[in-house]
Amino acid sequence: MTAPDLDPRTPVLVGVGQASERIEDPGYRRLSAVELAAEAVRVALADTGADPDAVAAAVDTVAGVRQFEISTPGAFAPLGRSDNYPRSVAGRVGANPRRAVLEVVGGQGPQHLVNEFAATIADGGCEVALLFGSEAISTAQHLAGAEDKPDFTEHAEGSLEDRGLGLRGLATRHMLMHGLVEPAGQYSLFENARRARLKMSREEYAAAMGELFAPFTTVAARNPHSAAPVERTAEELTTPTDANRLVTDPYPRYVVAREKVNQGAAVVLTSVGAAQRLGIPQERWVFLHGHADLRERGLLDRDDLSAYPAAVAATRHALEVAGIDLDDVSAVDLYSCFPIAVFALCDGLDLAPDDPRGLTLTGGLPFFGGAGNNYSMHAIAEAVHLLRARPGAYALVGANGGMLSKYSVGVYSTTPAPWRPDRSTELQAELDAVPATAHTEHADGWATIETYTVLYRKSGTRRGIVIGRLESDGTRFLANTEDGDEAMLDLLSTGEPIGARVFVRSFGFGNRVTVSRERMDELFPPRPAVLRQSYEHALVRRDGHLLEVTINRPEARNSLHPEANAELDEIFDAYFADPDLWVAILTGAGEKAFSAGNDLAYTASGKLPWVPKNGFAGLTNREHLPKPVIAAVNGYAMGGGLEIALACHLVVADETAQFALSEVKVGLIASAGGLVRLPRTVPPTVANEMILTGRRITAREALDYGLVNRVVGPGQAVEGARRLAAEILEGSPTSVRASLQVMAETRGIADTVAVVNHPTTALDELLVSEDAIEGVTAFVQKRRPQWRNR
């Protein structure tokens, strides 16, 4: 097939470019990410063989790959950044596109953009697309503290289609709680699972990683754009030294993606018609013969933690679309952030790790450089150069994103070919239809290790991460070792831990795993359910059968951080366990606030917030409060403060009180029960408004809506609660507990008759209680009953 035979809308790559600089090199220019991308674009425009200015003027679409410094919530750009990266780059090269796109996070991005915009061109949605990405991480870190540091802040006019971060499923709250923040930790879990599946020793697997990556260093040493152009032996790569320190088990630093780079790469993608019109010689054209984009399910949902079926399926499908087999491919670049990213493809495709074609075109992410999300743009550029030198040959580029999460594949050749749509959507539906592995957030009991890693901190300390299966039901869980638990760390660091029997226990701050139940009790001694004499963040006062609890953080409007929540959880455990305490009142110190909810200052400090398993204030997550708890609301009950009040049985508020679920004002949600309890307490229309706008309501409004039981004068909330508590204390505490039990058991039953007929042990226990006998006897004798709570 020749160019005249092709549909004019057939997409074709016509220009590629790369740019780089190293801090230690002569002539280092301190280029920003925008400047590095612009330099790569200029090379790509010239690479078309046509007038670069004319090609730039014809660009109607630009798409930029996100830098790492804008890839996570709250990320910081130490030298500043552009507020419209794609248009900043376009403006520097004389392009004025009608459309500008900023892609989601992930190393799949460059290949996905080629696949997407090739399809857009084929559909007539654009004619000339300019795709690029860049990183100046090395410069940013090098100059962040310099007195003469440059300012890379800039503003670019024009529209921007910002697709957001696209982090769904990549970093869950549960994973962050267990220290799975850095990619090396997650990839180590996959790596060790594979090692165990292959029944290889630690030493054998380390040798295999070195043998895989040693040829990559040879390629990197020849590449003028490499960040680390040093050829190393397999043994050098995997032998720990001061320079090659252990990052995780099993990774020393040399086999981990190198993010400290200053690199940019760009691709010019046009229709055949536009290429002809612009005078781009046909010998510059490279066609996308095959393509696919698939996504893996979340880490804990995967059946086999040693495999990457989505990537294997994407690669096979791209070859199918191209109409060739893997044996027909002359050159391959597999994303190589960690060895498992390559091994998983080798395993699934029956591709030898030492395939004579080689598995990298650049030198790989640990050696050429892991240019943020943009590495594969460099691989595509290298593929285009190689194919122009070998007309008719095929090259395959596999681009990985997330934590073995997203995979995009392109098959390229200079051989002219019509555009062929892929079936990725259908294949994705098939992958998604596979049942997810059952897992739990709260794991307790004996278990076996499924996979693991050990994180080596620069301070010299270690922390273990375990994925295991509970013996009771086979459910998967995620857990950490406790600091100082050398016995468990030794188990993970020697021999074969996978399959070993361990003991796990859940806490509000996550699951902890150790070698035995006895060791767990040593690490976390059982806490007696009794009140202490004093607490740091709360005050307690006993008055007969009444317990008064005061949140004592008035300087923070009685907002709660983990330590305060833990103390309240302990206090309420003691209250519910003490047979001599029948009613509790919860209030806040001072007159300004009952509780302002979550301590946002604590969260903003960078510390990971957590709450006890029983929830906010030790109340909101309890399935059942077996004894009455009265909220005495003085001042603000905001956010989590209102959620605490909603979890209580009764609410007494003074006239100054204000209630709100204000989470939407600070980018959060009322996740401690407010979204469930408020609509069941007040009219749904009122709940919707309060939840969606953060609207505050007064004590009188709260009374009218049924949110509070009583309103009292200013400063009288506690006194009002005491009067209400006294009324409760006049009745039988046994009857009160039984009533609360039945109400809790039947809460979800809508049919009244079904509720009345609901079988419960509460009535049986009540009928044989001393209080039942005393109550009837006192009534007959016309005297005040003497309740015993038994």
Residues identified as active-site: 643, 663
CA torsion 673-678-681-682 (nearest 10°) is: 180
- E strand or H helix at 456, and its extent? strand 445-456
Which of 450, 457, 524, 462 has the alpha carbon at shortest distance from 488? 462
| Helix, strand, coil fractions of the chain, as percent rounded to 5 | 40, 20, 40
> What are the backbone angles phi and psi of residue 531, rounded to the nearest 5°?
-75, 140
Cα radius of gyration (the chain)? 32
Q: Is 771 exposed, middle or buried (0-12, 13-18, 19+ CB in 10 A)?
A: buried
3-state secondary structure string, 675-707?
Answer: HHHHHHHCCHHHHHHHHHHCCCEEHHHHHHHCC
Which residues are paired to 546 by β-bridges?
Answer: 543, 583
Distance CA 272, CA 265 (A): 22
Angle subtended at Cα 343 by Cα 339 and Cα 349, rounded to the nearest 5 degrees: 155
Cβ 407 vs Cβ 314: under 8 Å: yes
- Give the pair of three-digit tokens for residue 128: 């000339």
**3 state SS of 489:** helix
Long-range contacts of 385-388 (CB under 8 A, 24+ apart): 385/16, 386/330, 386/331, 386/361, 387/286, 387/331, 387/412, 387/413, 387/414, 388/283, 388/284, 388/286, 388/414
Strand partners, 584: 547, 629
* Order of strands across the sheet that contains 636-638: 593-595, 636-638, 658-660, 697-698
Which is nearest to 335 in space by CA: 306, 302, 308, 298? 308
Peptide bond into 250 cis (omega under 30): yes
Distance CA 758, CA 109 (A): 57
Instruction: With beta carbons less than 8 A apart as the criterion, state whether 438 and 432 touch.
Output: no
Selection from 531, 642, 547 nearest residue 586 by Cα: 547
- Token pair of 502 as six digits: 């361990």
